[in-house]
Copies of this chain bind each other. A is one copy, B any other.
């Protein structure tokens, strides 16, 4: 499809979305929650149709097994989608909250009030459930959303969308609160990324190449997850048993998530006695290692790490190891190689912990906890649409609150500046 036609299609979607968003923004909380529960019921009712549509996608897909697994829906996964919408309905209302309030000497009362953002564009790859999760969080937070799933999951996306629209209409909300881009033409993505003033925020969910394309091309603000090169720093003042337990979880609980630790930094003062213990622990869990020279002087069997290794997000059972001389050196390593995502220090020394917490430039810093806690559910957000690695508006897990913005309400009695 040529650019002009794609832009025309996107203008139609965004016009409808903006009108729907205006109604959604002023709809009572109960109406949005009813829509979510009705959508959940509709997904259960349409379970067979959704699975059939998904089989068409799976049959047509020519992709890796891992990708195929993410693409494939099962009755359990369909039920999880429905349950997810009900869980979001049960979360506290995010709109209308008074975030701050103050009065000026001239008597003006100022309030910062939480409001919806408007129209959100969601661009995601294979997993069809992402569309349902995003729709749920957007409806609850008063935002209209335009979904652009992967071309491989278009049948699934449409079937899920039909059920969500059933829920919206049952609650008397506009169908255009949730729309799906009509076909898998890539020109639609460019049109979305260029829709400044029509789409308020783009959230990409997928591989590095997708996220990088979005960040490169977007004329619209983007909340994206770039990289999670997380560090766990074991300080000389660490409780050894705690350090062993936390590091094992941070690296090996799940190696494929962005909050997984990729690099171990350990103080030179304890490395000779303690590093061999940690390596044995992790080896027992199936972990491989690359290490700097100082670490290899202690554990000769470790492979040598290159500069590039310390800049690599393994997302695998592999750990980079560097020996450092205290907090400042650990912070310098993180500043040089880190991705501003999540870092942890393990220590009983509060002074060291405070210096570390204040010294990183990351969205999340932890003291005596596993980096794998960087998660909307674990933070208590109830649900998340993703994790943001940028610095503005939202950092870390993106939940309902992060899908709102604010406006200033100024109440006067006829004040003029004069």
Contacts and interface: CB of A to CB of B under 8 A. Distances in A.
Given A200-B391, A357-B409, A416 B253 contact: yes
Please tell me how many copies of the chain the complex holds. Answer: 2
Contacts of A406: 395
Contacts of A360: 407
A415 B369 contact: yes
Interface string A383-418: 000000011110110000000011111111111111
Contact of A373 (B239, B369, B405, B410): B410
B391 A110 contact: no
A388 to B, nearest CB: 11
A239 B412 contact: no
A219 B216 CA distance: 7
Given A392-B201, A405-B392, A417-B253, A410 B365 contact: yes
Interface string A356-381: 01111111111111101100001110
Interface residues of A, number: 64
A414 B364 contact: no
B417 A372 contact: yes
A253 B396 CA distance: 44
A102 B382 CA distance: 14
Closest 4 pairs (CB-CB, A-B) = A369-B412, A249-B416, A242-B414, A393-B393
18 contacts: A108-B378, A117-B392, A200-B391, A216-B219, A221-B391, A242-B413, A245-B414, A253-B417, A363-B407, A364-B407, A365-B408, A365-B410, A368-B414, A370-B416, A373-B417, A392-B392, A392-B393, A395-B405
